[in-house]
Amino acid sequence: MDPPTGLPLGLYDYDLLVIGGGSGGLAAAKEAAGLRKKVLILDLMAPSPRGTIRELGGSRFNMDSVRKFLQQASVLGKAIQDSQKYGWRFKEEVSHGWSELVQAIQEQVKSSSLELKRELDSSGIFYLHARGEIVGSHTVQVTDMNERKSYITAETLVISTGDKPQYLGIPGDKEYCITSEDLLSQRNPPGRTLVVGGSAEGSEWAGFLFGLGMSVTVMLQPDLLPGFDRKMAEKIENHMIVGGVDILHHCLLSKVEQIEDVLSGDSVTTPQQVSKGKLQVTIIYKDGETKQEYFDTVLLAVGRKPCTSDIGLDCVGVQCNQDTGRILVNERDQTSVDYIYAIGSVQHGRLSTTGLSVHAGKLLARRLYGEDSILCDYTNVPTVVLTPVEYAACGLSEEKANRTFGENSVEVYHSYYWPIEWTLPSRNKNSCYVKVICHVPDHERVVGLHISGPNAGDVLQGFVTAMKCGLTKQQLDATVGIHPGFAQVLTLLNQTQRMTDALMLRGNC
């Protein structure tokens, strides 16, 4: 069957066809269906190299749920330790069951995916578990799970295929390493784990596993939390090191091998033991030195690449960035082909979060089929990193604010704080921290807000609205704080970065 071409407006099979099951595309589909448009979603993602099946909802939507579950498991472990200071006693030794956690999370993710499919059906949205490839103007080739092909036309296309973890391209990476999407497919606990990459994803997974009692080493490439505020990242890194996570700087992973026998200890002071199925990793340091280390699991968190290479973008001339493979879009989320749009992490040069994708998808559908003309604001996008001490941010980092406005036009207010619930168990006083970055000539308007501490993401949410409304430092100071509670620290900031630097300089003289 040859694909149809040149169909006049009004004779298409669908008003809107979404290629991919990402959260932004789903949001656009549901909004369009609510506006009485005929909508189809095509979603068939290949399994990961280790065979992990990807569920409907997009990689980030599902992973967000997993991240939160794992953070909660880790937080509960710490709470159990703290609880003795609050008078709790246990008759039996407390231990963690990896298989129980994995089973519960997997069941919840599948349940959420089924519920999402029911929601699509009740909204009148057509859904096919099939792969879509653009083969002509307004025309998509549909390939189902049995490799049967058909052709469908649509007036408007939305690309929402999301992204997937990258590999290093070194010997043994796909054979023996796993990514975050594979970790919960492991029957046994990861054991001693090497996390390669200090991205937000790598930092989170290192924290989760360490919180569950694993021995964790993080190999930075090159820094922890690249792209985030450097001083905040340094404080997160210090908290992880103090907590017991090993950090490797200035080195690269060059090879991963699986070996049958590993001898540990020595025959003189420690009995030698044999470990089966260990992974031997070869590490090259900055000075050229090469070392071999042994781990049970190697987890790669070295970035993500968009799923855009096999959906026919070249066929109709959709332009992508040559380096990233991500799609170039304008302020309307429109590609270089006027009837094709892109939403979420497939976009080039924009921050991607689940919340942002959903918001952008809704606005896109309203512009296409409603009476709205509101564009998605891709500035002041809040984000949260579920590291051992949670980190939430909105707006500019200190470095970017200085580059944008000049150092003399930027004032940074900051403070450490000690959550009251941390005082009885005597947790680290210098782990929780806030900073507010202000543009001085604009009435000290808040252009960046950063929080590290318990529930930082939830605390930040209300301040994001305030920043959208032009929040100033004077308005923060005039806000009544809630006591007891640590969010009030943001209303009491009177120490600036310049003052702190001056005091440190004076102390060193």
pLDDT at residue 363 in the model: 98
Looking at the predicted structure, is the pLDDT value of residue 1 above 50? no
Q: How confident is the model at residue 10 (pLDDT cuts 50, 70, 90)?
A: low
For position 262, what pLDDT does the model report? 53
pTM: 0.91
Helices (H), 434-496: 456-468, 473-477
Note the pLDDT of residue 473.
Answer: 98
Average pLDDT over the chain reads 92
Q: Sign (positive/negative) of CA torsion 332, 336, 342, 346? A: negative
| CATH code for the domain defined by 389-508 | 3.30.390.30
What mean pLDDT do residues 475-479 have?
Answer: 97
pLDDT digits (tens, 9 = 90+) for 223-263: 999 999 999 999 999 999 999 999 999 999 999 999 876 55
pLDDT tens track for 174-217: 999 999 989 988 889 999 999 999 999 999 999 999 999 999 99
Q: What is the pLDDT of residue 267?
A: 44
CA atoms of 263 and 46, how far apart (whole Å): 39
10 Å Cβ neighbour count for 185?
15
Query: Which tens digit of pLDDT belongs to each residue from 141-171?
Result: 999 989 999 999 999 999 999 999 999 999 9
Q: Where are the domains of the chain?
A: 14-164+305-369, 173-302, 389-508
Which pLDDT score, from 0 to 100, does residue 378 have?
A: 93
Percent of the chain exceeding pLDDT 90 equals 83
Q: Domain 173-302 sits in which CATH superfamily?
A: FAD/NAD(P)-binding domain (3.50.50.60)
> Tokens representing 368?
């296409």
The pLDDT of residue 8 is 54
Residues acting as catalytic residues:
483
Q: What is the pLDDT of residue 273?
A: 52
| pLDDT range class, residue 52, cuts 50, 70, 90 | confident
Least confident of 48-57, 79-88, 329-338: 48-57
pLDDT exceeds 70 at position 57 = no
- Find the mean pLDDT for residues 99-113: 92
Q: Given pLDDT bands bounded at 50, 70 and 90, which one contains residue 269?
A: very low
CA 263 to each of CA 216, 257, 260, 298, 321: distance values in angstroms, whole numbers, following the listed order: 20, 16, 10, 19, 48
Q: How confident is the model at residue 476 (pLDDT cuts 50, 70, 90)?
A: very high
User: 389-508: same fold as 14-164+305-369?
Assistant: no
14-164+305-369 maps to CATH 3.50.50.60: yes
